[in-house]
Structure 1
Amino acid sequence: MRVGFIGTGSMGSILIEAFIQSGALSPDDLIVTNRTIAKAERLAATYPGLLVVKSNADVIRDSEIIFICVKPAEYKSVVDDIQGGIDAAQIIVSITSPVLIQHLEALLPCKIAKIIPSITNFVLSGATLCVYSDRMADEDIERLENLLSHISAPIRISEEHTRISSDLTSCGPAFLAFFIQKFVDAAVEKTGISEEQATQLASEMVLGTGKLLTTGGFNPAALQKRVAVPGGITETALRIMQKELCGLFNNLIHTTHAKYEEDLEKVSSRFFDAKGQIT
């Protein structure tokens, strides 16, 4: 199976490296291009056998599954570039959340999937969110999810929940890392513990907590109850967090959704005019 990548930026390169390191694909299975070819060539230098080509058309011509990993503002030009060379049997996989299935179906004759990966896929963990067009047959979905399962847990979602699901799985690592950093900063400032040791302790805690919440049989509420002995230190501290963090996550979700709607409007204007006609 030949898998193509248009775009080898941050997330594109994470997916490529994760597929190779997991054994899901060998470098010989991959054909890639990037607007700045030097970035793709650096990947090829690291993974001999990975084929770098100069154009999007070259990727489309030789690939069965094609991941498009470009920014929203660049997406329409990529679609315009490839639409004449793609056929109905090929699978386009978009990783760009404000690009909707309907945008792609309007211009491309092929099978279409949208996935939202996470930086956690780099360590062969976390979730990959999956949305499929009606053109995807069951065997197409199984084929793609078998590939994704080497680096993540593929989770099917409805497209209307793309943003909130992405907040939890894709933005979530940055949000959690921010919380951990502030926790570490306070520990260092208040107690004199070294930043290195505090970071190690907090990082191991996050790893263990993730296992408790995935394979350990706990949900978040049950885990808090198990740790927070009535009248104890943890319970007292949780009351402070309840007070100080009240409303924070509602504001966070409001902000991410507002930005998403802004991006969605910009992308839609590139695909459709004010009358809903394809541009």
Structure 2
Amino acid sequence: MADPLLPGPLWLIGCGNMGSAMLDGWIAAGVDPSHVSVVRPSGRAVGHGIRVLTECPEDEVPAIVLLAMKPRQLDAVAPELAPVLDPQTILVSILAGVEQESLRARFPTPGTIVRAMPNLPVRYEKGVVGLFSDSPDVAARAMVTGLMASLGHAEWFDDESLFQLGGALTGAGPAFLFRFIEALGTAAEQLGLPHDQAGRLATAMVEGAAIMAARSEEGPARLAQRVASPGGTTEAGLDVLDAGDSLNDLVARTLEASRRRSHEMAAEARRG
């Protein structure tokens, strides 16, 4: 039976935290597990009744291959994988920092190579997936768009450097937000709330605020103003966050550190 999200077999090369999150999201979105194979040296099961192999399957040609191992494993994987790929195979890489040029050098056969940068909420179909490709194949790009959009919000970049910056924002961003949630809960605990209650309230608050930001036609700065009454408790807290532009400076330095590391990883991949 045809799969509405897949034109043929899907192989995942590796299945760590991000790969398994994408896989869970795809199964929830309706991908047939029988159309998926996971290749991982350990052979460890991934659930959903999905076939797991220690070597590339010999009984099919993949329509899509997702590189989901660690970036440092690229040169160990490429010699085995590259010869079995077809010109019509769409190669999708979620390897942070590994540029299109580096992928093409190792996988010359596929007509379409796509870089994707998902984040962990794809597991709940609430993720963000940045996409970049130098391929002009409209049909292939549309197919990738549909597959990634089933995980949440998918957005293409025309410039690879902007794709990498977008990846720093959305790929690493959840970790930064989790730290902020933790900081809010810890501060409330230090002021007297029980630990568990402080964590629950901070998490629930962020979930509601994120929904409000996503659905509102107003920007976050305006929404913050709407929450804050003149001379009130919210304004008092915002005065601390806004003092000396310290929050904006901290976040800018955080994103720059992520982008800088992405550039370093790209250089490492180019060197091989």
Instruction: State if a TM-score over 0.5 links the two structures.
Output: yes
Distance in structure 2 (CA, Å) of the matches to 1:246 and 1:52: 45
In the TM superposition, 1:260-275 aligns within 5 A as 260-270=262-272
Contact 2:21 2:121 in 1 (8 A): no
Point out where structure 2 has 5 or more consecutive residues left out of the alignment.
Answer: 1-7
Question: 1:35 maps to what in 2?
Answer: 41
Q: Taking every aligned residue pair, what percent have the same amino acid on both sides?
A: 23
Distance in structure 1 (CA, Å) of the matches to 2:212 and 2:58: 42
In the TM superposition, 1:50-129 aligns within 5 A as 50-56=50-56, 58=57, 61-107=60-106, 108-110=108-110, 111-129=112-130
Distance in structure 2 (CA, Å) of the matches to 1:104 and 1:117: 18
**Quick check: 58-67 or 246-255, which moved more?**
58-67
Residue 139 of structure 1, CA deviation: 1.0
**1:129-155 superposed Cα distances (whole Å, 9 cap, x missing partner):** 011122x51111111111112111111
Distance in structure 2 (CA, Å) of the matches to 1:198 and 1:87: 53
SS in 2 for 1:5: strand
Contact 2:9 2:60 in 1 (8 A): no
**1:173-193 superposed Cα distances (whole Å, 9 cap, x missing partner):** 1101101111101101112x2
Residue 162 (1) aligns with residue 163 (2) = yes
Question: 2:256 maps to what in 1?
Answer: 254
Contact 2:168 2:259 in 1 (8 A): no
Residue 225 (1) aligns with residue 225 (2) = yes
Contact 1:60 1:85 in 2 (8 A): no
Distance in structure 2 (CA, Å) of the matches to 1:120 and 1:60: 33
**1:72-117 superposed Cα distances (whole Å, 9 cap, x missing partner):** 1111222222222212111000001311111222332211111011
RMSD of equivalent CA atoms:
1.7
Point out where structure 1 has 5 or more consecutive residues left out of the alignment.
Answer: 271-279
TM-score by length of 1: 0.88
Contact 2:62 2:85 in 1 (8 A): no
Question: 1:11 maps to what in 2?
Answer: 18
Question: 1:137 maps to what in 2?
Answer: 137
**Quick check: 242-251 or 258-267, which moved more?**
242-251
Question: 1:276 maps to what in 2?
Answer: none
SS in 1 for 2:116: strand
Aligned residues: 260
- Matching residue's letter, 2:203: S
Residue 186 (1) aligns with residue 192 (2) = no
Distance in structure 2 (CA, Å) of the matches to 1:82 and 1:209: 44
Question: 1:197 maps to what in 2?
Answer: 197
- Matching residue's letter, 1:106: A
SS in 1 for 2:83: coil
TM-score by length of 2: 0.90
Distance in structure 2 (CA, Å) of the matches to 1:37 and 1:207: 36
Residue 172 (1) aligns with residue 194 (2) = no
